[in-house]
Structure 1
Amino acid sequence: MRKNDKKLDNALRQTLTEVCEFALDHCEGYQWISHTVNYNNFPQSLRITCMFKDQQSADNEAQQGQLLQMIVNRLNSLSIQLKKPKQQICFESE
């Protein structure tokens, strides 16, 4: 991983941690967030997964769009713009 990739990854993890803390308090059934990325194809390769306790909670949050919009806004503040946020951010259940 290049030095710039490490800096970007640290900023990305910090931002997603902030989103996680918000979601734990405000999104019913929310459990955790994770991401995968290939920095050779960034930001197109960025995938963010929001995990919920059940599929109904995940579906409800996906329909409301509050968490998705928050993630997009936070990434924009880092100058990371997702071309297809609804495909790159997914809501799943365990």
Structure 2
Amino acid sequence: MKPSLYLETSLISYNMMVATHQQITREWWETRRLAFELFVSPLVINEVSQGNATEATKRLAMLKNIPTLEPNNEVAELALAFLQEHGIPHQA
């Protein structure tokens, strides 16, 4: 069984400003994503839907076969724990 991996928006972001980050992201997507069982949330779907319509369509196509986890209390508690412990930046 593959390990699970939740994808947040920066992995497929429409606003990556650093070319190196873009290249690393592309390489990960091409070489490592198949090693994991991937998941996204409705928030990720909403975020990648924004911006340039052509690019948004491409981003949505990348997520087409990735299951969407619906929010619940456990997810909310985990998100709060990440924020409280500074596990992710507030700007993320």
TM-score scaled by structure 2?
Answer: 0.26
TM-score scaled by structure 1?
Answer: 0.26
Q: Who wins on radius of gyration, i.e. which is larger?
A: 2
